[in-house]
Structure 1
Amino acid sequence: MAVDPQAYRPERPLTALGEPFYDVVDAARFPETRLRFRNDRAAAQVGLDKLDDAEWIAHFGRFAPLPDTLEQPLALRYHGHQFRVYNPDIGDGRGFTFAQLRDGRGRLLDLGTKGSGQTPWSRFGDGRLTLKGGVREVLATEMLEALNVPTSRSFSLIETGEALERNDEPSPTRGAVLVRLSHSHVRIGTFQRLAYNRDEDALRRLTGYVLRELYGEEGEDPVRLLELVVERTAVLAARYMAAGFVHGVLNSDNINVTGESFDYGPWRFAPVWDPAFVAAYFDHAGLYAFGRQPEAILWDVMQLAGALRQIAESEPLIAALDRFAEHYQPAIAAAVLWRLGRRPRAAEEDRAVVQSVERALRGTGVAVDRFFFDAFAQDLPAHYGTEWDEVRTRLAPYGARRARDHAYWQGEPCAMLIEEVEAIWAPVAAADDWTRFHAKIDAIRTMGDALA
């Protein structure tokens, strides 16, 4: 097998947790395995970019084990609040953790799947993923990575030759299996399940695992764990906002304990700065609307605190939760300034910039991506009217963090609105034409290089 011996660092600490954290499962056997996307940039970071396509398909379409890591796939067990209703009947219903690896920085990463077959937690589902759903997830993760949002990375997408029936898209529709590279698949809901079962020993073991393997800290202190999760999730919420991104389903089983975004279903990028904009057609109350995402993420973290209450006192947990806003405010300022291509200054000035940008975007209806493109590391163009004078004044003292010398700035802003997602999918569906898909990946990565 053609792994890079210098970069391939297999691990399997998840197996030490043992029961009751997962079920050993088998991958589905697919009639076909047609490679549609392989992320060699991500693969290089874990020593797997030297695999040829046949080896790639064997591991990520047929799920032959990678050397010296997990011997069998593990479907993780968890519960969660789904639109604030507690559900004890969920878990990895169409995915599993396939391998654990360390990257060059020593971070423990999971290779997890979506659409890899039924598990004990599938309930009435078929355990499959539509090809369109896989394409959408690749586009989401590439765009978020380029916009500096902590996200899982779409590692592989393989079409499976299956025809799937779905209620929310024309059927039968093509099937696929996705592999994602993520800094943990341990969710807030993983802790909720153990608390629901009143398994204090397992709660302590999981706390120790997360602190040791994911944060590099010793001990089993639940308060320290909550402090770290509060900080990371506040940063995630801030970067969602600066990216103009709406996840759509911020349930507690969709928030992991490293503050890394993952599992993309009805996501959207907001065309304009509208706090009421929703991604999911079924989110009738706007619970996870664009402007409510920080609140939604904090609510989920509160459920983690509730689970940890079984092994910790309330007061220090409450104190940790109370620091969410303290972390969020500088994080949103840093995220907006990063996207504006400016270096931060004093905290009060930075907050004033964010407030002025939000007011102007809401008041004028200028497209989010257009504004950040036009304002990056330069004065606002003259066609931005007097409504933008406060933004001009606020930004005047700020130095650029990098010049507008990349070729990207000579073109048009790279965006990812729903209309373009559908336009990328249409030729794939009609004629198996992947030209627009691959061109968009190239354009997103070009933007990421210009912003980095």
Structure 2
Amino acid sequence: MPSAPRASPYTPDTEISQVADWLGFPVNSADFPETRARFRNDRWAGAVGLSGLNDDEWAQHFGRFIPLKDNLSQPLALAYHGHQFRVYNPEIGDGRGFLFAQMRDGNGRLLDLGTKGSGQTPFSRAGDGRLTLKGGVREILATEMLEALGVDTSKTFSIIETGEELMRNDEPSPTRSAVMVRLSHGHIRIGSFQRLLAHEEREQMEALVAYCLKHFPGPPPPADAPRRDEPAVQLLHNVVERLADLAAAWMVAGFVHGVLNTDNMNISGESFDYGPWRWLPAWDPGFTAAYFDQQGLYAFGRQPEALHWNCGQLAVALRLLCDAEPLIAALNRFGPLYMKAVARRWCWRLGVHQRDEEQDATLVAACEKQLRESGSQPDAFFFAHRGGQNAGGELAEVLAGYRSRDDNHEYWSDDAPQSMLIEEVEAIWSAIDERDDWQPLHDKVAAIRRMGEAHGPAPEPMGHLRAGN
């Protein structure tokens, strides 16, 4: 959320222990040559009562992974399967990360601290279990920008440089190493359910559904939804609602995730697992972030389709517990929910109040048309037309009926908006890589957070995680 999260005391609560025996494997972290704190997200550390840690304590917990007080005694590498570019792969799982801790925030919500680059696990296969420092810096930039644009995302909690030299095929090597900690509501993936289906573990499937409904609760299914009282049906309705909103949030943000495999889809509906992400330089549905996505399966304009397909794979897994009919009914809600979420989020980012469904759809279509025809960069388009300003032709006619929101933040008087194009990302990394200059990164994070304050809280989606659970 763009506003600072509510501060709260440290409240450990290891609910994952209920399912840990079959959900993952206890592991140890790598013993790194050094642990040099490079980024600590005190903004979100305060939300879980950890902002009071000094730098040495921070490095001990998030670089050496000394357990937090009354928390998990040993990290847990989660087990899951997944469709990777639509090809089923049973040989995956947390190959370079683990679940490190769980605690409650000030709203009573259960949150996880998970890692990336913390060493090898039973799922590493030929991988070294490490993360490049550049990958960590890119994750900071992605999560901060998405949070400011109202997307439900994991938060980059900590980056610690670890003093190793890594060899990578997709960036100049040797390159510097890091270990990252992310904060999120959960790390249960669609792939977690696919694994239980593959092993025909009905009892564990029932337990995982119950865990998700308890800790990632949402509203009940519609009154006319068939078999709406069955837990598996309730869960799928919640996930469909969340992922429809997530797809809309990415599209309105102009964001391309890049790798939308089922093992990268979180049941909580949060965007996470960032790799080759990009922001659009221009409104192009065919724009693809990952160089290895040669068929454009996860191109910008195909992201809603990809998330709907992934929901379908969750429905297939839940067939272990439920008949097809009520699950299909839940899946059929994705399209209408997505369209409503696009309208809701589009008006929010444009700084105007919604009208009705038909008028909002007309507004979105008119904006997309102008984006395509003008070649405008999306961030510049939304900034220029904030509150219905500076529009001409057909767009001006459509916007004439919309009331603007009260936007008094000084950000809207800046010469240009914040954006996250690849050239700036590379420049920020080059300053770190070549001169060990972290100031451009810190300045960018501050500027993005200021932009988030100007936008204000994003509209609350259906299926959101309710407080107090």
Task: Out of 221-230 and 17-26, give the one that drifted further.
Answer: 17-26
Shift of 1:405: 3.5
- 1:237-386 maps to which residues of 2 (within 5 A)? 237-380=247-390
CA positional deviation for 1:105: 1.5
Task: State the partner residue of 1:188.
Answer: 190
Could you say which residue in structure 2 is the equivalent of 1:445? 449
> Secondary structure, in 3 states, of the residue corresponding to 2:112?
strand
SS of match in other structure, 2:21: coil
2:459 aligned partner? none
**Are the equivalent residues in 2 in contact too, given 1:95–1:127 (CA < 8 A)?**
yes
Q: What's 2:463 paired with?
A: none
- Bigger mean CA deviation after superposition, 361-370 or 152-161: 361-370
Shift of 1:258: 1.1
Judged with a 3 Å threshold, the aligned counterparts in structure 2 of structure 1 residues 22 and 156 are, in CA distance, closer, same or farther, namely: same
Equivalent residue in structure 2 for 1:411, among 396, 415, 440 = 415
Distance (Å, rounded) in 2 between the aligned partners of 1:115 and 1:405:
39
The code of the aligned residue for 2:245 comes to: V
Counterpart residue number, 2:432: 428
Alignment of 1:114-125 (within 5 A): 114-125=116-127
Deviation, 1:401, is 2.3
Please say if residues 67 and 73 of structure 2, whose CA atoms lie closer than 8 Å, have aligned partners that are also in contact. yes
2:224 aligned partner = none
Q: CA deviation at 1:367?
A: 1.1
> Which 5+ residue runs of structure 2 have no aligned equivalent?
1-5, 221-228, 457-469
Supply the AA of the counterpart residue of 1:26. N
Number of residue pairs matched? 443
Separation of aligned partners in 1, 2:101 and 2:13: 8
After superposing on structure 2, the runs of 4+ consecutive aligned residues of structure 1 that deviate more than 6 Å are 216-220
Q: Which has the higher contact order (CA 8 A, sep 6+)?
A: 2
RMSD of equivalent CA atoms: 1.5
The alpha carbon displacement at 1:67 in A equals 1.2
| Distance in 1, Cα, partners of 2:79 & 2:47 | 28
- In 1, Cα distance between the equivalents of 2:342 and 2:431? 38
Q: Which residue of 1 aligns with 2:216?
A: 214
Give, in angstroms, the shift of residue 406 of structure 1: 2.0
CA distance in 2, matches of 1:271, 1:290: 12
Native 8 Å contact 2:411 2:451 kept in 1: no
Which of 402, 405, 418 is 1:401 aligned to?
405
Instruction: Report the Cα offset of residue 393 of structure 1.
Output: 1.4
**Does the Cα contact within 8 Å between 1:211 and 1:217 map onto a contact in 2?**
no
- Secondary structure (helix, strand or coil) at the match of 1:36 reads strand
Q: How big is each residue's C-alpha offset from its partner over 1:419-449, in whole Å with a ceiling of 9 and x where there is no partner? A: 1110101111111111111111111111111
Distance in 2 (CA, whole Å) between partners of 1:450 and 1:45 is 21
Cα pair 1:42 1:155 within 8 Å, conserved: yes
Work out the CA distance in 2 between the residues paired with 1:220 and 1:408.
48
Q: For 2:414 and 2:398, locate their aligned partners in 1 and report how far apart those are by CA, in whole Å.
A: 26
Rounded to whole Å, the distance in 2 between the matches of 1:216 and 1:342 is 27
Matching of residues 148-159 of structure 1 within 5 Å:
148-159=150-161
Distance 1:204 1:197 in 2: 14
List per-residue Cα deviations over 1:5-60 (Å, max 9, x = no partner). 95211111111113221100001111111111000111111111111111111111
Report the TM-score when normalising by structure 2. 0.92
Higher mean Cα deviation, 143-152 or 99-108? 99-108
* Residue identity opposite 1:379 in structure 2: Q
Query: What's the counterpart of residue 97 of structure 1?
Result: 99
Separation in structure 2 between the aligned mates of residue 126 and residue 402 of structure 1, nearest angstrom: 51
The one-character-per-residue Cα deviations of 1:111-157 (angstroms, maximum 9, x if unpaired) are 00000000000000000000000000000000000000110000000
Provide the C-alpha distance between the structure 2 equivalents of 1:7 and 1:326, rounded to a whole number of angstroms. Answer: 40
Structure 2 letter corresponding to 1:94: R
SS of the equivalent of 1:433 reads coil
Deviation at 1:407, TM superposition (A): 3.8
SS, match of residue 409 in structure 2:
coil
SS, match of residue 215 in structure 1? coil
Check whether the contact 1:408–1:446 (CA below 8 A) recurs between aligned residues: no
Q: Does the 8 A contact of 2:407 with 2:454 survive in 1? A: no
TM normalised by structure 1 equals 0.96
